[in-house]
Amino acid sequence: MKKGLRLRHLSFHGPTRELATIPFRPGLNVIHGASNTGKSFIVDAIDFMLGGKGPLRDIPERVGYDLILLAMDTLEGDQFTLVRSTEGGAFRLFEGLYSEKLPVGEGTPLADVHSDRNEENLSAYLLAKLDLAHKRVRRNKRGDTNSLSFRNLARLVIINEEEIIQQRSPLSDGNYTADTTNTSVFKLLLTGVDDSALATAQPRTPEEQSRSAQLDLLDQLIESHRRQVKELAGPPDELEGQRERLGESMRSQGELLAVSETEFKDAAARRRDIARRVEDGRDRLTEITALLERFTLLDAHYRSDTERLRGIEEAGSLFGALGAGICPFCGSAPEHHRKAECDFDVDKAVVAAQSEIRKIEVRQRELTQTIATLRKEAVSFERRLPVLEEQLATVSGEIDRVVAPNLRQLRTAYRQLADKDGEVREALAIYRGLSDLEQRKAALEREGEASVDSGNSLADVDLPSTTADKFAGVVLSTLVAWHFPEIDRVHFEAKTRDLVINGKNRTSFGKGLRAITQAAFTVSLLQYCRQFETPHPGFVVLDSPLLSYREPEGDGDDLSGTDLNSHFFKFLAGLPEDRQVLVIENTDPPADIRASEQAVEFTKKEGLGRYGFFPIVPAR
């Protein structure tokens, strides 16, 4: 019975979120459709659930989910489900397939880090299912070996959208010092023979032990940097270009921001001036109103005093006209009246009253003029204040509707650019740090190799030429079946650890053809292992293999005028059930594939088919 694994379900669970799950079938599986719908995230999640350190990409759609389930089975019929936190860490293993419901109980804990001393880890568990437990692979020319980890296999079967277009060998992950290990794993899959029989050339000297310790430390630092690099937006050259574009955008945005700041300050100054004038006008109008009330009351007092004095004047005139009578002051009769004892003089009282009336009339005229002036001033303010208030409302509205929002938008945009610039700078610093660490490690490796070049070193990984030729033949038959243009010969070059297609190095092609030939390499490795009954995980995951249909690099990289698309899917659809292929694509597969159960389309259109991997969260 052949050994192999198959993916069955990938599911995300959260206490407040709707289940997000997708099934996988034996043979071909296709997930296609619009961009930014979670297709590539599925690839990342599968890798994460097979021991990838992560962290998972922090996309908004996964917020609220705390558990991931990956249900799998073996070709022998064993079924199991791996459960892991979205934050990473150890796994829990449950028998049976789970997707919609969470398994009950604690399960069997499995560490996320491979160890050849303790088999209670995910890597050892999966390798045992493939009869690859306790295998060893060579890691340097000296003949030192490492315990085979499932992660060594994962990089040959899970090809993300970045790796599929890389301008390097499929056996290289960009780390020079790992090339020997990667090639040893490739040889193990092709031949079924590991490197357990290798013996170290000679006992290590203290210097070599020190160098080995340094290399181990550098490996840890490099691994840490590589995890960070996985989250970055692109390679260093793209980041440098992005940084230049960000600098230009920030300068342009800064100029617009300065203009907007000036406009805001000018408008705010106008608003303050008009508001001050409105406030002063209202205060003066209130003051005038109070004065008019007081002056009106004073005018009433003047009129009252004048009427009283005129009464005195009139009474005095009447006393003079009536002749002698009882004195109104002392009450004496005329015959008893004594002027010495009563100093009242009617004429003088009349004259005094008339004099006082004239004084009051003068004051009353002045008061009348003052009241008229104040009323005129009040009328003026009553006419001007509405105009000023309208101007204030207009300026305030302009600030609130146009100037302030525009300023906020520009400030937000500038801050976002500054934040992005900071992220790019940090990313470049990580790349520089990674490059420095890799150079230091490579230098230490070269020192180690030089120290044993005097006859104590072994030959590099020896891939038998007959095996390499057979593998190249499988690749050729795959490319022919796919109708790769003008394909007539394929050779595996041991020095570059890569394919030579029609006499041209694979890495010399454009990124679109690099993607399809990387896919051919990966699928052919599965085909070869099944044909010659050598070990293989039994599944492959390919993200964007048909890039040349969507983003070709020039005419020589453009496959849109060929029928490779249809033959590619036809070939994969015809694979036996002991081989599973998951293809992630933006371009649509042929109509017969789209209509089958093997294909799932993410429409990115609410209400039309499946929107994406994660359900749409209703707006609150």
SS (H, E, C) 183-198: HHHHHHHHHCCCCCCC
> Is pLDDT of 571 > 60?
yes
Residue 579's SS3 state is: coil
Question: Rounded mean pLDDT of the chain?
Answer: 86
**482-504 pLDDT, tens digit each:** 999 999 999 999 888 999 999 99
Please state the three-class secondary structure of 82-126 as a single string. Answer: EEEECCCCCEEEEECCCCCCCCCCCCEEEECCCCCCCCCEHHHHH
Quick: pLDDT tens for 86-126: 999 999 999 999 999 999 999 999 999 998 888 899 999 99
Max avg pLDDT among 342-351, 360-369, 570-579: 570-579
Decide if 63 contacts 135 (C-beta within 8 A). Answer: no
* Residue 410: C-alpha distances to residues 146, 266, 594 (Å): 55, 17, 45
pLDDT for the residue 327: 67
The pLDDT of residue 226: 67
Residue 343's pLDDT is 60
pLDDT of residue 219: 73
Range 124-146 burial, b when 16+ CB lie within 10 A, else e: bbbbebbebbebbbbbbbbbbbb
DSSP-derived secondary structure for 211-270? HHHHHHHHHHHHHHHHHHHHTSSS-HHHHHHHHHHHHHHHHHHHHHHHHHHHHHHHHHHH
User: Which amino acid belongs to residue 353?
Assistant: A
Dihedral, 485, 490, 492, 493 alpha carbons, nearest 10: -80
Distance CA 375, CA 369 (A): 10
Distance CA 242, CA 234 (A): 10
Q: In Å, how far from its chain's centre is CA 109?
A: 33
Short-list 411, 601, 523, CA closest to 157: 523
DSSP helix, strand, coil percent of the chain (3-state; round to 5): 55, 15, 35
Residue that wins the pLDDT comparison between 460 and 304: 304
| Whole-angstrom distance, CA of residue 249 vs CA of residue 457 | 55
pTM above 0.75, yes or no: no
377 band by pLDDT with thresholds 50, 70 and 90: confident
> What b/e sequence results for 330-357 when a residue is b if at least 16 CB atoms lie within 10 Å of its CB, and e otherwise?
eeeeeeebeeeeeeeebeebbeebeebb
Percent of the chain with pLDDT strictly greater than 90 = 47
Least confident of 170-184, 397-411, 451-465: 451-465
Q: Distance (Å, rounded) from C-alpha 313 to C-alpha 223? A: 117
Does position 454 have pLDDT exceeding 50, yes or no?
Answer: no
What pLDDT is recorded for position 455? 45
DSSP-assigned beta bridge partners for residue 10: 22, 70
**Residues 75-92 as b or e (16 or more Cβ within 10 Å = b):** beeeebbbbbebeeeebb
* Whether pLDDT at 610 is above 50: yes
pLDDT recorded at residue 469? 95
Helix, coil or strand: residue 81: strand
pLDDT tens per residue across span 15-44: 999 999 999 999 999 999 988 899 999 999
Contact (CB, 8 A) for 6 and 26: yes
Q: Which has the higher per-residue pLDDT, 253 or 346?
A: 253
